[in-house]
Amino acid sequence: MINYIIRRLAMVPFLLIGVTVLIFLMLMALTPVERTALYVRDVPRNERVLEGIIKKYGLDQPWYVQYWRWMFGSTVTTTENGVTTVEHVGGILRGDLGYSRTASQPVAELLARRFPASLELTLYSVVPVIAGGILLGVIGAVKHNKPTDHIVRIFGIVGWSFPDFVFGLLLLMAFYAGTGWFPPGRVSDWANKIIMSPEFNNYTNLITIDALLNLRIDIFLDALRHMVLPVITLAYLWWALTLRVTRSSMLETLRQDYITTARAKGLSERTVIRQHALPNALMPVVTLAGGTVVGLLSGVMIIETVYNYPGMGAAAVRAASQLDVITVLAFVLFNGLILVMANVVVDILYAYVDPRVRLD
């Protein structure tokens, strides 16, 4: 088991290097003028000044030299009017991802500001998504071809084929426009003023947790109220996929010979399902669960846009709509890193779910 984990962890640096190389090659598709946004906030229009910036930051050098600078940064020395200035620039390992034109701030600061919102939405969505999908999938498989199974299948088909933005808009019309119960956004205006005030301590930037730590139950309830519709939308759409995969895997497992043997031994149906069928049927579900967490954590773009939820997905949509390529590629890089780490965690979970996948 330890050797298996070590081998999986040893692959992480190579995977991360591969991700960074792919993202950088996308950057190299831009012109040197467009890549100046990695180092300067305002791109000048004067051609002579632009040429000076390109020379200064080595944007006309070979790609591997620029990749090294992009990864690790560099020291730029300039002399003007007899004054020598030493400047440390670039380096994603130092947190320098460039400047976001749409957000008017460094990309690293934009990610730090938007990531807690997406993380909070993920934490409240992932448990009902995975647990609900597995439960419905198991029920559908156990009640195969019975009315309960037909209801579960219809539920899954409708959820899988329903456009997420349409479902979100329907919920908004029913529960906000019609009743005003669950508004969009992250918190109400009155709660936001308190959160931004000096009296409120932002320990984690997760509003529900910080509200409890500040003993503000009213802000906690207001934040939950704003997350009800996004969580329901995400849960329903991801439930549909999870239950379909769980149901198919469970049906295949229930047809195996060892399940027939377990039943022939006189074991109760509940014992057969819980101890013999379910653990073996969870292999594809574990993979799907990892992808679900990555999808939620990366920021579900359409859902955050529909509900005006200030997460990473909404920021990425805005950057893409305004052709802010530097910001978009930074989000792609961040999502790629999350995906690599999630796959490593899933691989390690495989060893606990099914010992057969362990390496000697």
Fold of 100-357: MetI-like fold (1.10.3720)
Q: What is the pLDDT of residues 315-335, one digit of tens each?
A: 888 888 888 888 888 888 888
Does 345 have pLDDT greater than 90? no
> Alpha-carbon distance 309 to 303, whole Å?
8
Q: What is the pLDDT of residues 132-156, one digit of tens each?
A: 888 888 999 988 889 998 888 888 8
**Mean predicted confidence (pLDDT) in 220-246:** 88
> Alpha-carbon distance 68 to 56, whole Å?
15
Structure tokens at 13: 């640096």
Residues of the chain with CATH 1.10.3720.10: 100-357
Judge contact between 37 and 99, C-beta under 8 A.
yes
> Alpha-carbon distance 146 to 155, whole Å?
14
> Alpha-carbon distance 311 to 304, whole Å?
7
| Per-residue pLDDT, 332 | 87
Angle between helices 217-254 and 164-172 (to 10 degrees): 140
User: Containing H/E element for 108?
Assistant: helix 107-142
Arithmetic mean of pLDDT over the chain = 84
Q: What is the pLDDT of residues 9-58, one digit of tens each?
A: 888 888 889 989 998 888 888 888 888 877 777 777 777 878 888 888 88
Report CA-CA distances (Å) from 102 to 4, 41, 209, 318: 44, 11, 29, 7
**Mean predicted confidence (pLDDT) in 110-120:** 90
Report CA-CA distances (Å) from 338 to 99, 271, 295, 309, 346: 21, 37, 10, 21, 12
Judge contact between 277 and 254, C-beta under 8 A.
yes
Q: What's the pLDDT band for 79 if we cut at 50, 70, 90?
A: low
Q: What is the pLDDT of residues 187-216, one digit of tens each?
A: 999 999 999 998 899 999 999 999 999 999
Q: What's the pLDDT band for 103 if we cut at 50, 70, 90?
A: confident
Q: How long is the chain?
A: 360
Give the predicted TM-score (pTM) of the model: 0.82
| Per-residue pLDDT, 284 | 81
Q: What's the pLDDT band for 344 if we cut at 50, 70, 90?
A: confident
The residue type found at 182 is F
With left for phi above 0 and alpha for psi between -120 and 50, is residue 83 left, alpha or beta? beta
**Mean predicted confidence (pLDDT) in 270-298:** 80
**Mean predicted confidence (pLDDT) in 75-91:** 65
User: What are the b/e assignments for 10-42, b being 16+ CB within 10 Å?
Assistant: eeeeebeeebbeebbeebeebebbebbbbbeee
| Per-residue pLDDT, 280 | 82
| Per-residue pLDDT, 80 | 63
| Per-residue pLDDT, 227 | 93
